[in-house]
């Protein structure tokens, strides 16, 4: 036998029954986005490496060490499997001049790739759902996006997700803060860990984000970006806060909240939970007014967020909120293999009018005993068995037998009531089979 092949480390197959949970989450997301007027944008998974180097910033974790980059063997192009999709969205929007007639609200979902150490809630191929509002200066759309996420948690039934917000101000304000921060950290050089020393001059803001317990006192007392914000930035932030208050949304201002990507300004936010161990950020985003220019477009305000679908599903599981597996409405029991050519077209007609029905599939020797077929019917979770006995078929009929009681809120189904139904007119009785 040939050597077995396995999936790449940190990249997972999503198979039944889990895939049904994914589909359900995706459906919920799509329906919610429709209500908020966001439309779907699908961009390629492979982008020019330069897009991320320019868009995310050279000294970010992603660009420094997490990207799957390679050279196209055939033409030498430098390419990267997208580690996130905001840069790709902006590229696509600029390329097609999508904002020629005003702002756009867009969403995407799909796989992202980062070479990280795989662990619970952290994979090398993972999936993000993202929402972006492009061409609006806010803070109303900033609030809209946050409210939208809160609605998603409510709709999914999730609890215990907390909102943290901060303002990163504008580049000039960040520069002034950066200088103050570097001076402060240099004054405490003996307390810096190796990572902090490395970042001191390249990306000191990220030092504030450190998880090292030994450095918490140091970063807690560091100069705060918030204290360097000018009137306009503060006003933007305060108006966002007022809008969140108007919705009754509670949040915590976290002055140390900085984001992994360089492109953020003004509003930044994260939704976090304590129920997923150390991978507790389920959704993160902010305003990125500088990104369009950075990748060759004209200056355009924009804001967005991305959520980690694996983490949301994990949290749903943790809270017992995952839906039951979908079951067929009916299972076709076929005692005699010779009847299959008669049976299959009937099942097709049922499916065409919206009934989900599974046929018992036999082996080459036949269909198996009635007993084993009923066992399968029961295991399928179907609410009805359709019994295609030879005698009934000869009369142009099929026996419909309930296997389960009524769904909640449904009129009673008499479990004993087996009824003969005409094959010639499935529409007449299909309604009774069809699930809600
Ligand atoms: P983290 O601090 O956990 O590494 P991040 O700041 O790198 O997150 P973003 O780039 O903001 O994350 O991505 C948005 C969301 O995507 C995260 O909040 C998280 O839910 C999810 N996410 C990011 N990286 C991964 C990963 N490797 N595996 C699974 N989900 C991820
Ligand atoms: Mg990360």
Q: Which atom of ligand 1 is nearest to the CA of 62?
A: 7
Q: Whose CA is nearest to atom 16 of ligand 1?
A: 308
Pairing of strands 357-359, 330-333: parallel
Least confident of 172-186, 273-287, 409-423: 409-423
Tokens of 28: 């919920």
What mean pLDDT value characterizes the chain? Answer: 93
Tokens of 283: 């959704």
Q: Whose CA is nearest to atom 22 of ligand 1?
A: 308
* Same domain for 397 and 279: no
Extended beta strands in 206-259, E state? 252-253
Is the model's pLDDT at 223 over the cut of 60?
yes
253 occurs within a structural domain: yes
Tell me how crowded residue 149 is: count the other CB atoms within 10 A of its CB: 22
CA of 110 to the centre of ligand 1 (A): 13
76 occurs within a structural domain: yes
What 3-state class would DSSP assign to 127?
strand
* Same domain for 347 and 266: no
* Same domain for 408 and 269: no
* CA-only gyration radius of the chain, Å: 28
Residues sharing a CB contact under 8 Å with residue 121, sequence separation 6 or more, in sequence order: 276, 277, 279, 308, 310, 311, 314
Which tens digits make up the pLDDT trace of 33-80?
999 999 999 999 999 999 999 999 888 889 999 999 999 999 999 999
CA-CA distance, 332 to 327, in Å (whole number)?
Answer: 14
As for ligand 1, residues whose beta carbon falls within 6 Å of it are: 84, 114, 116, 121-123, 126, 128, 260, 279, 281-284, 306-308, 310-311
Domains contained in the chain, number: 2
Q: Which atom of ligand 1 is nearest to the CA of 121?
A: 29
271 occurs within a structural domain: yes
Residue 410 banded pLDDT, cuts 50, 70, 90: low
The answer to whether 387 and 331 have CB atoms below 8 angstroms apart is no
CA of 260 to the centre of ligand 2 (A): 7
pLDDT at 57: 86
pLDDT at 281: 96
The average pLDDT across 302-321 equals: 98
Q: Which domain holds residue 338?
A: 330-434
What is the DSSP secondary-structure string of 40-90? Answer: E----SEEEHHHHHHHH-TTSHIIIII-EEEE-TTT--EEEE-S-SHHHHH
Domain finish residue from 318, 338, 355: 318
* Same domain for 139 and 278: yes
Return the DSSP state at 383. Answer: S
Tokens of 260: 């992994």
Q: Which of 65, 67, 270, 306 to mutate to test the pocket of ligand 1 (most atoms within 8 A of CB)?
A: 306
The answer to whether 32 and 272 have CB atoms below 8 angstroms apart is no
Query: Which CATH number does the domain housing residue 115 bear?
Result: 3.30.930.10
Query: Does an H or E element contain 132, and which?
Result: strand 125-134
70 occurs within a structural domain: yes
176 occurs within a structural domain: no
Is the model's pLDDT at 367 over the cut of 70?
yes
pLDDT at 365: 78
The answer to whether 156 and 315 have CB atoms below 8 angstroms apart is no
411 occurs within a structural domain: yes
CA-CA distance, 57 to 260, in Å (whole number)?
Answer: 10
- The highest-confidence range among 135-139, 401-405, 417-421, by mean pLDDT, is 135-139
157 occurs within a structural domain: yes
CA of 253 to the centre of ligand 1 (A): 20
CA of 150 to the centre of ligand 1 (A): 18
- The highest-confidence range among 201-205, 221-225, 363-367, by mean pLDDT, is 221-225
* Same domain for 160 and 52: yes
Which tens digits make up the pLDDT trace of 420-436?
999 999 998 999 898 75
* Same domain for 312 and 243: yes
Is the model's pLDDT at 406 over the cut of 80?
no
Report which bound ligand comes closest to the CA of 115.
Answer: 1
Domain finish residue from 298, 318, 338: 318
pLDDT at 423: 94
398 occurs within a structural domain: yes
Q: Which residue has the tokens 């307390």?
A: 191
* Same domain for 354 and 397: yes
Tell me how crowded residue 308 is: count the other CB atoms within 10 A of its CB: 23
Q: Whose CA is nearest to atom 9 of ligand 1?
A: 284
Give the chain's largest Cα–Cα span. Answer: 94
* Same domain for 309 and 250: yes
- The highest-confidence range among 157-161, 175-179, 418-422, 425-429, by mean pLDDT, is 157-161
* Same domain for 266 and 339: no
Report which bound ligand comes closest to the CA of 87.
Answer: 1
Domain finish residue from 318, 348, 365: 318
Query: Which CATH number does the domain housing residue 383 bear?
Result: 3.40.50.800
Q: Which residue has the tokens 């993160």?
A: 284
Is the model's pLDDT at 415 over the cut of 70?
no
Is the model's pLDDT at 83 over the cut of 70?
yes
Return the DSSP state at 224. Answer: P
Q: Which of 55, 279, 285 to mutate to test the pocket of ligand 1 (most atoms within 8 A of CB)?
A: 279
Closest to 398 (Cα-Cα) out of 301, 351, 331: 331
* Same domain for 335 and 314: no
Instruction: Please give the share of the chain, as a percent, with pLDDT higher than 70.
Output: 97
pLDDT at 407: 64
* Same domain for 424 and 365: yes
Residue 262 banded pLDDT, cuts 50, 70, 90: confident
* Same domain for 401 and 268: no
């Amino acid at each position: 036998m040939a050597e077995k092949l396995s999936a790449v480390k940190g990249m997972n197959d999503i198979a039944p029954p889990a895939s049904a949970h994914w589909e359900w989450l995706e459906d919920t997301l799509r329906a919610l986005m429709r209500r908020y007027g966001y439309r779907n944008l699908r961009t390629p998974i492979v982008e020019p490496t330069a897009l991320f180097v320019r868009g995310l910033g050279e000294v970010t974790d992603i660009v420094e060490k997490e990207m799957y980059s390679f050279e196209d063997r055939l033409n030498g192009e430098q390419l990267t499997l997208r580690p996130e999709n905001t840069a790709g969205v902006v590229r696509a929007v600029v390329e097609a001049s999508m904002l020629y007639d005003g702002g756009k609200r867009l969403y995407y979902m799909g796989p992202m790739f980062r070479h990280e150490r795989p662990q619970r809630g952290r994979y090398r191929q993972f999936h993000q759902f993202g929402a972006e509002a492009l061409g609006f200066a806010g803070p109303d759309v900033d609030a809209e996006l946050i409210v939208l996420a809160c609605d998603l948690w409510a709709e999914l039934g999730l609890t215990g997700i907390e909102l943290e917000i901060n303002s990163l101000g504008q580049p000039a304000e960040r520069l002034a803060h950066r200088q103050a921060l570097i001076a402060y950290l240099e004054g405490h050089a003996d307390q810096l860990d190796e990572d902090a020393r490395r970042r001191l001059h390249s990306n000191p803001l990220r030092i504030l984000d450190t998880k090292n317990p030994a450095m918490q006192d140091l970063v807690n007392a560091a100069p705060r970006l918030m204290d360097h914000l000018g009137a306009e930035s503060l006003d933007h932030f305060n108006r966002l806060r007022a809008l969140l208050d108007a919705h009754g949304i509670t949040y915590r201002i976290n002055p140390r909240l900085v984001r992994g990507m360089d492109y953020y300004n003004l509003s930044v936010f994260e939704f976090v939970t304590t129920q997923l161990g150390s991978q507790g950020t389920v959704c993160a985003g902010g305003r990125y007014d500088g990104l369009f220019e950075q990748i060759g477009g004209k200056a355009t305000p924009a804001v967005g967020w991305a959520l980690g679908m694996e983490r949301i599903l994990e949290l749903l599981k943790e809270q017992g909120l995952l839906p039951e597996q979908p079951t067929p409405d009916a299972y076709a029991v076929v005692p005699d293999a010779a009847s299959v050519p008669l049976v299959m077209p009937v099942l097709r007609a049922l499916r065409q009018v919206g009934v989900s029905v599974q046929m018992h599939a036999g082996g080459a020797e036949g269909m198996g005993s009635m007993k084993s077929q009923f066992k399968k019917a029961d295991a399928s979770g179907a609410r009805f068995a359709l019994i295609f006995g030879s005698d009934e078929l000869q009369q142009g009929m099929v026996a419909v037998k309930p296997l389960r009681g009524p769904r909640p809120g449904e009129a009673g189904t008499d479990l004993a009531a087996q009824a003969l139904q005409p094959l010639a007119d499935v529409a007449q009785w299909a309604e009774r089979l069809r699930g809600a």
